[in-house]
Structure 1
């Protein structure tokens, strides 16, 4: 099926998110930024959007928004939404770009209709501690079905690409990371809300789940008592036992700010922090870490291949709580020159691998290859293709 509009422009449909304008970060932000950029480059772009009540398609900033009505907000509603989107996209001319593999089983429809599709395989979701065994089994199955049914795969990290290459041809995988805007200046007004001063607090931004080590970080900070506050951004619910444990571990220097969704406020809090702590242990390229690099933040991160590739050799790393406490004290006591060197290294790493322009260029190359006429035979490639980002 040809993926072009009646006017001959290349056409792509973005699925797998709740839609745009972005309201939930992560994939929604990628969908919005990529869609707007492709429109500016002459593409026709469709984005499927989850709504509660039926509504007609509409155009927003040059993007065709296709509302798909689904009642509810839970996992079942998401599955129903994804199924409805796939049923529509399978019989429309646009090339599907699916963000996430959580319902990759539905991509069988693209195979049955001889339609090419591209899927961003996200992180290794089935390894996350927060999911039940049935949920992990579902993610494990869909990761494999996504690798089987999608014509081409996007991995957001070289480790994810290597993981996927164990079960499919490396020629079908392209590594494209996540982007962030550089933050070169920011207002200090958001700091006043929490009684903070520039370069005089640590920052933790994370979903409050066990695999992000939020409890260990809060506990380590409270035990060390470094003499300056730790600002924690992340939604906490009293009904969640893990969240209650995190709150209970917080000493007087820990400020729980909840979730903040205003991008400018979050960017300012990143920009003015003394350093950023990143405890994520599972997954690929994490947007929060990339955004910290773009803000020029010194980084203290959990030591794993995902974080080391993203943050680079100038960041500090910890493997356990002893090393975490040592790292906190080291950065609290560090002189201005050391923090400046670490911040400059963060900016270099961001410019090298995580600019939005580089991400957009890489996606456009992948999409155009899928729109190109089919050629006989296969081109053998010895390694996973890497479009943007270097080790």
Structure 2
């Protein structure tokens, strides 16, 4: 039976308005979407302070309750403290709980004991990332299992992630819902030129600077030959991180390292005016940055693995090592027709599989399912809810 005012809480991100990454962007889009369709929406936001003087406070932003949680810790401990305090607060409220990621899934046991309905987006297979030591991998592995069995519904953002989760829970408990991307059909040149770049004369990588994203091999591959274009690598580079130091040493004068850029108009312009987008990710499911590249009509040069193959399809040419990466870069630089064809395939793939409206409606359907709303009722809601086109 349809609840009078359906309610949902979003946990697991640093908060909104989005300024950090893919999960925050998704949380903002879903919160605004559901609020526009009559839902009561709350989003937990992390507030790091020197001393906790008001653990929980709320404010309203565009019809959404922003639930600020103060934490006085730093680093991973702050994240765990935040997750626990979010769960404690959510357990006192009557709402479906959408949890993004499973890194603090141990605390979901409390939500389940308090009879709250839980949907968990299981993100990637975190414990497989090579950057983690044995203790961190063990923690992630255990929490993956805990999330799988404490959540009522699991969301996989990629068919391969769904296959993996089916080793934890029956298929009937798993929904496959990818990430979405906003089409980018134009962008000003000024943000690109401000970085000393010429539209169409650079390749771009937008990713966390980590070994499993192959950033160092990408830089090394680009610098192997004299190119007529530049390489732009967006992402934070720290002087105390050996991997980051190695990237700086490998880069020559044609590699631009502007650091992390969170200004979305600038990032969109960098994608739109790039000759090709480089994607070296090897672990995970449907990566937001790759989807956004497709939505911008980018030709993609991607690491060859089942995750990237499913997402990018014919929009990409693929590499397996530094040598093949160097070859694919030169191919993208030399072949105008290939760039055009891949760009068309990118937009087609984005429209086919990664439309935000489809993604957000799928999440709403999952939330209604936990509230006991039937498919027929949900379809009727789709036709009559505020904000429906």
Q: Contact 1:274–1:297 (CA<8 Å) still a contact in 2?
A: yes
- Residue 115 of structure 1 and its aligned partner are, at CA, apart by 2.3
In structure 2, the partner of 1:32 is 28
Structure 1 residue ranges, 4+ long, deviating more than 3 angstroms after superposition: none
Q: What residue in structure 2 maps to residue 355 of structure 1?
A: 355
Instruction: List per-residue Cα deviations over 1:68-101 (Å, max 9, x = no partner).
Output: 1111331111111111111121221011000010
User: What CA distance in whole angstroms lies between the structure 2 residues aligned with 1:227 and 1:64?
Assistant: 50
Equivalent residues of 2:32, 2:64 under 8 A apart? yes
5+ unaligned residues in a row in structure 1: which ranges? 375-391
* Alignment deviations for residues 266-300 of structure 1 (CA, whole Å, 9 cap, x no partner): 00010000001100010111111011001000000
**TM-score, structure 2 as length reference:** 0.92
Aligned to 2:382: none
1:373 is displaced (CA, Å) by 6.4
- Select which of 11, 14, 25 maps to 1:15: 11
What is the deviation of 1:105? 1.1
Q: How far is the alpha carbon of 1:3 from its aligned partner?
A: 11
Measured in 1, the distance between the counterparts of 2:131 and 2:273 equals 31
- Structure 2's unaligned 5+ residue stretches are 375-389
Confirm or deny that 1:48 pairs with 2:44.
yes
Note the alpha carbon deviations across 1:148-203, whole angstroms, 9 max, x for none. Answer: 11000001111000000012110000011111100000000011122211111111
Alpha-carbon distance in structure 1 between the residues aligned to 2:201 and 2:68: 45
Structure 1 distance, partners of 2:293, 2:63, is 30
The 5 Å alignment of 1:295-334 reads: 295-334=296-335
> Partner residue of 2:201?
200
Corresponding residue number in structure 2 for 1:230: 231
Alignment of 1:217-366 (within 5 A): 217-335=218-336, 337-366=337-366
Q: Which moved more, 1:180-189 or 1:314-323?
A: 314-323
8 Å Cα contact 2:221-2:325 kept in structure 1: yes
Greater shift in the superposed pair: 337-346 or 237-246: 337-346
**C-alpha distance in 1 between matches for 2:281 and 2:274:** 19
Residue 141 of structure 1: how far off its partner (Å): 0.5
Contact 1:3–1:94 (Cα < 8 Å) also in 2: no
Aligned partners of 1:19 and 1:49 also within 8 Å: yes
Shift of 1:22: 1.3
* Structure-2 change in CA distance of 1:184 and 1:373 (3 Å): closer
**In 2, distance between residues paired with 1:101 and 1:142?**
6
**Cα distance between partner residues in 1 of 2:117 and 2:187:** 43
What are the residue-to-residue correspondences of 1:122-141 with 2, within 5 Å? 122-141=123-142
Over the aligned positions, Cα root-mean-square deviation in angstroms equals 1.5
SS at match of 1:224: coil
The TM-score, its normalising length taken from structure 1, stands at 0.92
Secondary structure at the residue paired with 1:225?
A: coil
The aligned length equals 369
Task: Single out whichever of 23-32 and 65-74 deviates more from structure 2.
Answer: 65-74
Q: Secondary structure at the match of 1:226?
A: coil
Q: Contact 2:57/2:69 (CA < 8 Å) preserved in 1?
A: no
Q: Is the 8 A contact 1:225 1:253 kept in 2?
A: no
